[in-house]
Structure 1
Amino acid sequence: MAGRIREEDIKRVRDASPIADVIGEYLQLRPAGADNLRGLCPFHEERTPSFYVRPSRGVFYCFGCAQGGDVIAFVMKHDHLTFVEAVEWLAGRAGIQLRYEEGSAAPRSQQSYRTRLLEAHKVAHEYFMEHLATPEAAPAREFLAERGFDAQVAEHFQLGYAPAGWENLVRHLRARRFTDKEILDSGLASPGRHGPMDRFRGRLIWPIKDLAGDVIGFGARRLDEHDTGPKYLNTPETPLYKKSQVLYGIELAKREIARRQQAVIVEGYTDVMACHLAGVPTAIATCGTAFGTEHIKILRRLIHDDAELGSGISRAQIIFTFDGDEAGRKAAERAFAEDQRFVNQTYVAIEPNGMDPCELRQHKGDAAVRELIAQRVPLYEFALRSTVDQYDLDTAEGQIAALDAAAPI
């Protein structure tokens, strides 16, 4: 967690980030008077522009939803970032090196090193994307094509390919002046007898990003049947990548999650892709771990459940789409335990034949994926049904046992 940024640096960031230029990167602004610009508000639905920017004062205000503030407030609100994250993002845009107060949670040296690790991931991501078009990557392209994903889809989701070999990426990063320590600490390589060796080799690559859109890790799918490694391999725990805190697709889905007050939790990378292509742009996935409290904290930044605490009624929806097999059912029941700490209405959407969203899109088309989400059932109902179905309700003993098991729910 980043620490306190020096006040003079915050002022430098504001001064170096003209509000009209920054907001103009997000939406179209048109002149509206001597010192005003106007556009459609990004924070609520409207047809007549009520969102105004006053460059001379460095502020914005919407007369429709009463949102307003300076350039930092806009980035915080629009991209769902904390104050520190927004300042850091703007500083990176302006090329400003931030300084942190002594004794803060992230001293300057630590924050500078984090920036180096982010840069290493950016270089690695570009390297992987370039290699997806190479002859060696044909199996990766075939894997995608078999699941209904063409080159345009791969480009949209910024997929890549890690070439086979032990030091391809390591050599590339060294050539870009990254040290072996930086390469290892980033999780892009593993220690070997003769130095760092590529962690991802001969695999299809998905970039995993944070809310700000920075690449913090990768997910990789095995393509060679002779590869004895795991089918899916993720970045290990690093200063950037904490698996309990990452959600694949969050940078793509965050605006629609906030706008619709809905998040669809799927299991895999291809499920996220299938959902987005099918018209479910709120889909995200955990990366090799169960949905937990840290993921809930991320969603709380996007979905506002606190306003409903008094009434007990929430407009927001969290929808889990687990596989229909036994493992998927157990995952849904684990999620129910987490739901006790989450005020939102929580649902489950399971395809009767056990197909995941990617398989469903392949076999039945986009409409079937949308219908799956539309036919969701409350999680408590699913948990009760799954529990009761384990007992013989034709006997008194079974009925009593089912009641005992269902009581905690």
Structure 2
Amino acid sequence: MSRRTRAGDEDLFDTPIPGDVDSALTKLNIEIVGEDAANFRIACPAHFRRKGKEDRNPSCYVHKDTGVFICFSCDFRGPFVTLVAEVHGTPFEDAAQWVGEQGTIDLAVRLLSGQSRARKREAEEIGESHLALFTQPPARALASKRISADAARRFEILWDPQRKYWIFPVRDETGKLLGWQEKGKGYFRNYPEGMEKGESLFGLQALDGEEGVLVESPIDTAVLWTDGVAGGLASYGAILTPKQLRILGGRLNRLVDAHDNDHDGRRERVKTYQHFHGTGLIVRYFDYADLDVKDPGEMTAEQNRAAYESAYHPMMRSLVRFGRR
């Protein structure tokens, strides 16, 4: 087994998991300071080494079933073996042997390898530690979508290094993790099945101020940010749910509607304007002009900035700035 312990290394998903995570943490002299349905909360054991100070406000979550962990303060993350290696100060191989001596479970190994995800019970509680399975997107993937690493971090866009899929966490209005969307070439899936993605809008937690730019796809929020257009919010599709409309009405005073530049997008754009007409929320249309593009992801940075700056009132199309691109 390799010594590599960083999330994203190819052997991350092939490590032993203790059959009883609670007991294993106790044997490591790690105090459980809190818990929810899916996770134990502990003080991060790597905090001093990584940040030069102790984790006095415990922010490290360990999943109860898989042992996968993540510290939301210093970003220390990985499989349970990595936690053991840190605490014991031992090589990865020795840490793996220690975990194996505690008794392991096949279910967790299958979960980490991605083989049992489709068979997990629908009602499973999703916890923050699940996100430790994923990494920051690699440079080549970011370049393929024309987004910056800063934009990916801002919108919490992640990457499944084993299957090479994009991961878009789905959170409700309060920030609680509901699950995520998985997207790859010719592949799309909401996880877990039945996730209520219509309970919020992607990008809501990154929103500053009271102006938003509504797009359909989560990746386009990061495209716009990279291009200098802030406030991206994605509806996970063309149709807005009543809850999403309520969120927009309660959070924004101005909305630039950038629904896809196709038949469905134009139809839903009209519905959005009609819904908010007379409510005090100012709605303007993202100006695709005569460009043969579907969405901001197919536009250059210059085109996206111009489309945002030229956003127009639905009833006053003829007053749009002359000579725009």
> When the two structures are superposed, what TM-score results if normalisation uses the length of structure 1?
0.42
Query: Is residue 157 from structure 1 mapped to residue 155 from structure 2 by the alignment?
Result: yes
Note closer, same or farther for the CA distance 1:319–1:236 as it changes in structure 2 (3 Å cut): farther
Aligned partner letter, 2:284: Y
Q: What is the DSSP-based 3-state SS (H/G/I as helix, E as strand, rest coil) of the residue aligned with 2:174?
A: coil
Corresponding position of 1:173: none
Pairing partner for 1:123 from 122, 129, 137: 129
* Greater share of helix: 1
Note closer, same or farther for the CA distance 1:242–1:235 as it changes in structure 2 (3 Å cut): same
Query: Is residue 357 from structure 1 mapped to residue 296 from structure 2 by the alignment?
Result: yes
Q: 1:377-405 CA deviation, whole Å, 9 max, x = no partner?
A: 223456xxxxxxxxxxxxxxxxxxxxxxx
Query: Is residue 345 from structure 1 mapped to residue 298 from structure 2 by the alignment?
Result: no
Aligned partner letter, 1:249: G
Q: What is the DSSP-based 3-state SS (H/G/I as helix, E as strand, rest coil) of the residue aligned with 2:264?
A: helix
> When the two structures are superposed, what TM-score results if normalisation uses the length of structure 2?
0.51
Note closer, same or farther for the CA distance 1:242–1:342 as it changes in structure 2 (3 Å cut): farther
Alignment of 1:10-409 (within 5 A): 117=125, 120-129=126-135, 132=137, 142-162=140-160, 202-223=164-185, 231-235=187-191, 238=194, 241-253=195-207, 255-257=208-210, 262-303=211-252, 316-340=253-277, 342-352=279-289, 353-355=291-293, 356-360=295-299, 363=300, 365=301, 367-381=302-316
Aligned partner letter, 1:242: E
Query: How far does residue 289 in structure 1 lie from its aligned partner after superposition?
Result: 5.0
Note closer, same or farther for the CA distance 1:340–1:370 as it changes in structure 2 (3 Å cut): same
Query: How far does residue 247 in structure 1 lie from its aligned partner after superposition?
Result: 0.3
Structure 2: distance between partners of 1:152 and 1:129: 14
Q: What is the DSSP-based 3-state SS (H/G/I as helix, E as strand, rest coil) of the residue aligned with 2:134?
A: helix
In angstroms, what is the RMSD of aligned CA positions? 2.8
Query: How far does residue 248 in structure 1 lie from its aligned partner after superposition?
Result: 0.4
Judge conservation of contact 1:317–1:345 (CA < 8 Å) in 2. Answer: yes
Structure 2: distance between partners of 1:375 and 1:152: 26
Structure 2: distance between partners of 1:267 and 1:122: 25
Note closer, same or farther for the CA distance 1:323–1:279 as it changes in structure 2 (3 Å cut): same
Task: Identify the structure with bigger relative contact order (alpha carbons < 8 Å, sequence gap 6+).
Answer: 2
Structure 1: distance between partners of 2:282 and 2:156: 33
Note closer, same or farther for the CA distance 1:272–1:211 as it changes in structure 2 (3 Å cut): same
Query: How far does residue 163 in structure 1 lie from its aligned partner after superposition?
Result: 5.5
Judge conservation of contact 1:246–1:287 (CA < 8 Å) in 2. Answer: no
Corresponding position of 1:185: none
Aligned partner letter, 2:202: Y
Note closer, same or farther for the CA distance 1:247–1:237 as it changes in structure 2 (3 Å cut): farther
The number of aligned residues is: 192
Q: 1:347-382 CA deviation, whole Å, 9 max, x = no partner?
A: 21131214322222xx3x2x4322211211223456
Judge conservation of contact 1:163–1:202 (CA < 8 Å) in 2. Answer: yes
Aligned partner letter, 1:359: E
Q: What is the DSSP-based 3-state SS (H/G/I as helix, E as strand, rest coil) of the residue aligned with 1:378?
A: coil
- In structure 2, the gaps of 5 or more residues are 1-123, 318-325
Structure 1: distance between partners of 2:311 and 2:147: 26
Note closer, same or farther for the CA distance 1:219–1:379 as it changes in structure 2 (3 Å cut): farther
Point out the structure with max Rg over C-alpha.
Answer: 1
Note closer, same or farther for the CA distance 1:354–1:265 as it changes in structure 2 (3 Å cut): farther
Structure 2: distance between partners of 1:328 and 1:289: 6
Structure 2: distance between partners of 1:354 and 1:332: 18
Judge conservation of contact 2:172–2:199 (CA < 8 Å) in 1. Answer: no
Note closer, same or farther for the CA distance 1:318–1:209 as it changes in structure 2 (3 Å cut): same
Query: How far does residue 343 in structure 1 lie from its aligned partner after superposition?
Result: 3.6
Structure 2: distance between partners of 1:284 and 1:244: 13
Corresponding position of 2:39: none
Aligned partner letter, 2:172: D
Query: How far does residue 237 in structure 1 lie from its aligned partner after superposition?
Result: 6.1
